[in-house]
Chains A and B, each alone.
Chain A
Amino acid sequence: MKPFKAFSGTLAPLPINDIDTDQIIPARFLKVTDKNGLGEACFSDWRYESDGTPKSDFVLNKPEYKGATILIGGNNFGCGSSREHAPWALMGAGFKAVISTYFADIFRNNALKNGLLPIVVDEETHRQLISLAQEDPQTQIKVDLEAQMITLPDGRTVEFPIDGFSKYCLLNGVDQLGYLLSLEDAIVEYESTHPARVNTTQ
């Protein structure tokens, strides 16, 4: 994973509550065996007519939101299935961060493990960002993970929470598997004092 750097980007507003992972990437696109190529299918059913032509009123198809790197969704973003294809698809569609008032647990975990930053803001900031993005699609905000802060165009800064471990891993491009592998001794120790509960190979 590449280290997560501070960046400035424009926002694509999708102010719908409870956006579920079936909308982010519909199940029929899950018959893949790698992570690539899902960006095209991101929000497929909201984005395309049944004959495949783009729906002109969907935010990701509007020319003024082209190149947005931050998606701002409604409350409870990413509920539903555990498919990690959801962050893969969002990243494939060019997003580096998603903003909401809160995220579903599994989606948040999956996003963090792939370098897609879930940013939780309060409702007031959330409303303000949505209207900024709707009024002026060129609105840029700055995302600084190190400082855990976003900076609005008027210079106002808003802090966001993230657990220290995820932050460390993102900033340094460290993947968590490496950390778990380094705990081999503790795992062996646990296994020696806790007999197996079941054996699937018998």
Chain B
Amino acid sequence: MPKTLFEKVWENHIVKPQTADTPAVLYIDLHLVHEVTSPQAFTLLRERGLKVRRPDKTLATMDHSTPTTPRNADGIIPVLDTQAAFQLDFLTKNCQEFGVPLYSLGTENQGIVHVIGPEQGFTQPGMTIVCGDSHTSTHGAFGALAFGIGTSEVAHVLATQCLLQNKPKTMAIRVDGRLQDGVTAKDIILAVIAKIGVGGGTGYVFEYMGEAIRSLNMEGRMTICNMSIEGGARAGMIAPDETTFEYIAGRPAAPKGEAWERAVADWRQLPSDDGAVFDAEVSLDANTLVPMITYGTNPGMGMAITDRVPDPDSVKDISERIALDKALRYMDLQPGQSLIGKPIHVVFLGSCTNSRISDLRQAAKLLRGRRVADNVRMMVVPGSQRVKAQAEAEGLDRIFKEAGAEWREAGCSMCIAMNGDQLKPGEYAVSTSNRNFEGRQGKGGRTFLASPLTAVATAINGVITDPREMLEREVAY
């Protein structure tokens, strides 16, 4: 029987099949760990006298509560927040005691957990990957089955390398056609979520397919899979192809020599078979897609940047009407209003959605020779120390700094605002991150989610701007 990519990966990791009484026991190939969702799991292991079963399949980093402020004279990034410092020290202690490799704050491989896995070559097709973080879906861009878990499950995987899972359903998301200039992977996924809603994918694993997905590079594919969870799906996958293999080849953890040849041969078997059946299907036309922006307080409240803010009175479903009305009040927006031209305070370029080298290159290209508007604070936060070093080697940091943007150390930063990088109450931000929930970027802060291009165009003009306008001008000059 023809199988989907998901089914192939799922079946290959069954330690014990699902029965009427028990969920399937699924083997995990790679477990990523960070400081915020692991402390209670390590404590549980200690209480029960358990070991980490496979430290060699576990990798820890520091990202969420880490400062992104400059290093001191000794090259150290000081942690001034005592609670955060305690949490980070606790991770260090746990990793030492249990033998788990750790990328400590400021060291050369440290970074956002979903940036470092692919960067080091640990993320490979056909694997199962979990982390106590919902954006683990990012790794699905390689054809891995990757999803976020809670802290109890972190303990399960640490102790047994296994998880209890009921088999999810599958949804094919087909994006055909070609993207126009100025329209990016971020716009595709914002459009998908606007279409299906934040709960539309609940219970499903997505597989993204179609010409527009195939023509994306790996970093664009990661942007798409990253936000699967914003559509309610725990995982999103893209079948591996030559683009995938090329990206992995030569990375530190990638197979070498003969092992590489064997691995690629295996990976070629993974794509969904012709005739494989999905439980649901959604499709989108890339040809007609324009830059997207959110106007509300969840990622599903998004629209074409050229559209107008919807009117709650025109929404039939009463609970949705209330939700929209509440969101517009929080955002202080009027129904029918255009967002283009709206003044903003902060532009945040970063997060596991859009902080990789190609995001920074794209942003720097548009920013080169221009300046961030006086009314705007622009923060550029690379996803990892490696991304930062690469950007500096290419001189991108100079472009950002000369334009008046802040060039920071790597981490989650204002995506989650746990580390002091945050909006003030009432401030508006255009952010390349993935969540515009109330207070997500700082209590009372208001977030518009958009692509790096839209973010940079907005930073330059100081008001929300359709980036295509600037690209056109570039051509005209």
Contacts and interface: CB of A to CB of B under 8 A. Distances in A.
Given A110-B152, A163-B23, A198-B122, A82 B132 contact: yes
A173 interface: no
Interface in B443-469: 443-444
Interface string A160-201: 000111001000000011011101101101110010111111
B198 A27 contact: no
Contact of B199 (A16, A102, A113, A197): A102
Contact of B148 (A16, A82, A184): A82
Contacts of A110: 150-152
Nearest to B323: A17
A104 interface: yes
Given A17-B319, A27-B440, A177 B203 contact: no
A53 interface: no
B153 A113 contact: yes
A176 B163 CA distance: 10
A114 to B, nearest CB: 7
Contacts of A45: 438-439, 443-444
Given A31-B65, A84-B151, A200-B57, A74 B323 contact: yes
A103 B150 CA distance: 15
B73 to A, nearest CB: 27
Interface in B71-118: 81, 83-84, 86-87, 90, 99, 101
Given A27-B418, A187-B160, 15 more contacts: A17-B320, A18-B300, A28-B443, A30-B36, A30-B64, A30-B65, A82-B132, A106-B148, A163-B23, A165-B164, A179-B164, A187-B162, A200-B55, A200-B56, A201-B99
Q: Which 8 A-B pairs have the closest CB atoms?
A: A76-B199, A110-B150, A33-B39, A82-B148, A84-B150, A113-B152, A84-B151, A31-B83
B268 interface: no
Interface in B277-318: 298, 300
A66 interface: no
Interface in A77-93: 79-84
Interface of A: 15-18, 20, 22-23, 26-28, 30-35, 45, 50, 74-76, 79-84, 102-106, 109-110, 113-114, 163-165, 168, 176-177, 179-181, 183-184, 186-187, 189-191, 194, 196-202
Interface in B11-67: 12, 15-16, 20-23, 25, 27, 29-30, 36-37, 39-40, 43-44, 48, 50, 53-59, 64-65
Given A28-B417, A74-B319, A113-B150, A102 B202 contact: yes
Contacts of B134: 80-82, 106
B139 to A, nearest CB: 12
Contact of A177 (B20, B23, B155): B155
A104 B202 contact: yes
A186 B40 contact: no
B127 A187 contact: no
B437 A180 contact: no
A18 B199 contact: yes
Nearest to A79: B198
Contacts of B81: 31
A15 B90 CA distance: 39
Contacts of B27: 187, 190-191, 194
A76 B198 contact: yes
A169 to B, nearest CB: 10
Interface of B: 12, 15-16, 20-23, 25, 27, 29-30, 36-37, 39-40, 43-44, 48, 50, 53-59, 64-65, 81, 83-84, 86-87, 90, 99, 101, 121-122, 124, 126-127, 132-134, 148-153, 155-156, 159-162, 164, 166, 168, 198-199, 202-203, 229, 232, 234, 253, 298, 300, 319-320, 322-323, 326, 416-418, 425, 435, 437-440, 443-444
B253 A84 contact: no
Contact of A109 (B121, B153, B322): B153
Nearest to A34: B40
Contact of A22 (B48, B53, B164, B440): B440
Contacts of A198: 29-30, 57, 121-122, 124, 127, 253
Nearest to B157: A180
A8 to B, nearest CB: 27
A183 B160 contact: yes
Contact of A183 (B16, B59, B101, B199): B16
14 contacts: A16-B326, A17-B320, A22-B438, A27-B64, A32-B83, A76-B199, A83-B36, A103-B202, A114-B152, A183-B160, A194-B12, A199-B56, A201-B56, A201-B101
A50 B164 CA distance: 41
Contacts of B127: 197-198
Contacts of B37: 82-84
Contacts of A202: 56, 253
B162 A200 contact: no
Contacts of A17: 319-320, 322-323
A101 B218 CA distance: 37
B199 A180 contact: no
Contact of B435 (A30, A74, A80, A104): A80
